[in-house]
Amino acid sequence: MSIWTVTAAALDTLGVPYAASAFIPASGSDLPDQYLVYTTVSSPSEQQADDGETLRSWRVQVSGYDRDGLANLPDIDAAMVAAGFAKSGKAEIPYNRETRHFGLAQDYIYLEVQT
């Protein structure tokens, strides 16, 4: 299973619109009041054996956006941890005057065992 499939499956449980890399609404549509965007930040190899990779870690960033502020964001931590990710750093995203969204970027680490 790919990291994108694992991440999408975790975010599916939240019932909030989401997209990979960028949320692009249908032509003529506005952004939803609340939505998520995920992206892969890095993916270093962690272990090799027998001339092959055995472990790889993935750093995935999930950014939550909400027009009403950050207090009502879904529990992204719970969804990602349930899918096997470990919590990492968080950073507030500056308010976007154009879209009127507040944002929070949250990083998660996933250790993939290569088979």
The CATH number assigned to the domain holding 43 equals 3.30.70.1700
pTM here?
A: 0.92
The whole-angstrom separation of Cα 24 and Cα 50 is 43
% of the chain residues with pLDDT over 90: 83
The answer to whether the CB of 63 falls within 8 A of the CB of 93 is: yes
pLDDT of 26 reads 86
At 9 the pLDDT is 98
Which parts of the chain have pLDDT scores under 50? none
pLDDT of residue 10: 98
Over residues 73-92, the pLDDT tens digits come to 999 999 999 999 999 999 99
Domains: count for the chain: 1
Residue 72 belongs to domain spanning: 3-113
Task: Give me the pLDDT at residue 66, please.
Answer: 98
